[in-house]
Amino acid sequence: MALLNEHFLKLKAGYLFPEIARRVRAFCEAHPDVAPRLIRCGIGDVTEPLPPAAIAAMHRAVDELAARETFHGYGPEQGYEWLRATIAEHDFRARGCEVADDEIFVSDGTKCDMGNILDIFGAKNKIAIPDPVYPVYVDTNVMAGHTGPANAAGAYAGLVYLPCRPANGFVPEPPKRHVDLIYLCSPNNPTGAVATREQLEAWVRYALEHRAVILFDAAYEAYIRDPALPHSIYEIPGARECAIEFRSFSKNGGFTGVRCAYAVVPKTVNGHTRAGVAHPLHPLWLRRMTTKFNGVSYITQRGAEALYTPEGKAQVRALIEHYMGNATVLREGLQKAGLRVFGGVNAPYLWVKTPRGLSSWDAFDKILREANVVVTPGAGFGARGEGYFRLSAFNSRANAEEVARRLQAMRW
Ligand SMILES: *Cc1c(COP(=O)(O)O)cnc(C)c1O
């Protein structure tokens, strides 16, 4: 008899996106005449084609693999040196952050990294997770057996939920109690909030005091436009002693289907044995990656490298400006409709308060029925997402403008 990992059985069934798909399918079957009018503003996937610089670099890389003299087989598990050096230089050292080339670990995605990182942490940590947030942090901890069962509201026993609400600008403050592992996501999915320098300083202070580790998800870093906002947690003194940062090429270079990301594990971040002995996490993550991973494809890494060339940078900037132009169109449309909108300024997501106390699923159904637009119900991101819905700026401009028109025409 093969025993299974029973922690999987604690996961809440009917996860967000399958439920959205089910409701959309039912609506389209009942109303085949309006189905072609449907506009999806729900899923957090990019819509625009890849930057030409990345395309050209990947074509060249394929040609290299076609000749014996330039062929590449297995590369280093943690990424090619030329890509790690480019990342460390452009994303960190150029911004005044001390990060060494060999502290960069190239991977096939931040989603994967954030799940895999739990391999190097013990099972008895107190884990703090913002609410609402990207559901991967909670679910990977459930799978790893770090929680008890979920209650009726979907909150798992043993996790410390950090409430994100209008009063704190949707950026959680450090808890009064002790925790060991802290998830932060800035710019935030789903709320679009970005942590200020002061807010990150408070977290770094807390982490150093509690010997905690911060897992900092900066997948949307490229969307920050306000020059006062930090792009990396390593802009905060002390972060090199307590934080691991995660970045992805999914939302800047549009690599959601290509798959490339990286984690920064400074050699100065320690974990502790149960006896209280400090041990650096860097060699553990290196060992984990070299044992369980065989590297991102050569082609993909050449594509990622090309995003740092002058042409690549300009093309990424144009992509971001396109999506942020959509965010502005949507934001103004929602405001004209009289709705209370957060985010959409330094992030490609708008977080919208449902009017008249509508539940987030009721708002979802109403918008689907009356505007034929698919949004994401806030409750899918955590109990405190109830009463909100998320609108994504990943779309064509024409679609964003049409969505803004339709939301204004609705009877709220
Ligand atoms: C999209 C997204 C990522 C990116 O994940 P990849 O696996 O690199 O595509 C990471 N974190 C958040 C919060 C995201 O929304």
| Per-residue confidence (pLDDT) for residue 42, from 0 to 100 | 84
Q: Whose CA is nearest to atom 11 of ligand 1?
A: 219
d(CA 202, CA 93): 23
Q: Whose CA is nearest to atom 4 of ligand 1?
A: 110
Mean pLDDT across 186-199: 98
d(CA 77, CA 225): 34
Task: Tell which atom from ligand 1 comes closest to the C-alpha of 112.
Answer: 7
Secondary structure (3-state) at 245: strand
Amino acid (1-letter code) at residue 99: V
Mean pLDDT across 193-219: 98
180 close to ligand 1 (CB < 6 Angstrom) = no
Task: Tell which atom from ligand 1 comes closest to the C-alpha of 133.
Answer: 13
Secondary structure (3-state) at 352: strand
Residue 14 has pLDDT above 60, yes or no: no
Query: From the centroid of its chain, how far is CA 184?
Result: 10
Residue 13 has pLDDT above 70, yes or no: no
**How much distance in Å is there from the Cα of 112 to the middle of ligand 1?**
9
**How much distance in Å is there from the Cα of 368 to the middle of ligand 1?**
26
312 close to ligand 1 (CB < 6 Angstrom) = no
Mean pLDDT across 295-314: 98
Beta strands in 178-323 (DSSP E): 181-185, 213-217, 243-248, 261-264, 270-272, 278-280
Task: Tell which atom from ligand 1 comes closest to the C-alpha of 217.
Answer: 11
Indicate yes or no: pTM above 0.95: yes
Q: For 144-165, what is each residue's pLDDT tens digit?
A: 999 999 998 889 999 999 999 9
Specify the DSSP class assigned to residue 173. P
d(CA 179, CA 174): 9
At residue 396, φ and ψ (nearest 5 deg) are -75, 160
Q: What is the mean pLDDT of the chain?
A: 96
Domains of the chain and any CATH numbers: 6-49+311-409 (3.90.1150.10), 54-309 (3.40.640.10)
At residue 355, φ and ψ (nearest 5 deg) are -75, 160
Could you identify the residue written with the tokens 């770090």?
146
Short-list 389, 408, 372, 383, CA closest to 38? 372
d(CA 54, CA 299): 10
d(CA 389, CA 364): 7
